[in-house]
């Protein structure tokens, strides 16, 4: 009887280990999917910021306020 009890305990432990490994695999897969989604979103935002249609029409010299402020300072000097 004790051998049978030990076998049952080992089988239960093995089942619990397999369940834990299965949960770990699902968790890892969900984290990988979430990472891929985040990377796609960040790439989309990067594309939207760097390749907007209205930026193509602007000349490079007047692209921002900082450059305009800098040119005012140098014109005074």
**What is the separation, in whole angstroms, between the first and last Cα of the chain?**
99
Interior angle at CA 72, CA 70 and CA 60, nearest 5: 55
Q: Could you tell me if 48 and 55 are in contact, meaning their C-beta atoms sit under 8 angstroms apart?
A: no
Q: Could you tell me if 23 and 29 are in contact, meaning their C-beta atoms sit under 8 angstroms apart?
A: no
The domain segmentation of the chain, as residue ranges, is 2-76
Summarised one tens digit per residue, pLDDT across range 12-65 is 777 777 777 778 889 999 999 999 999 999 999 989 888 876 655 555 555 555
pLDDT at 33: 97
Give the pLDDT band of residue 71 (cuts 50, 70, 90): low
**Dihedral (Cα; 30, 36, 42, 46), 10-degree rounding:** -170
Instruction: Report yes or no on whether pTM surpasses 0.85.
Output: no
């Amino acid at each position: 009887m004790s051998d049978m009890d030990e076998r049952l305990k080992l089988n239960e432990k093995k089942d619990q280990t397999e369940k834990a490994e299965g949960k770990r695999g699902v968790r890892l897969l969900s984290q990988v999917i979430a990472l891929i989604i985040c990377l796609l979103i960040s790439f989309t935002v990067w594309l939207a910021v760097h390749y907007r249609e209205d930026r193509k029409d602007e000349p490079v010299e007047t692209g921002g306020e900082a450059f305009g402020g800098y040119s005012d300072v140098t014109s005074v000097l």
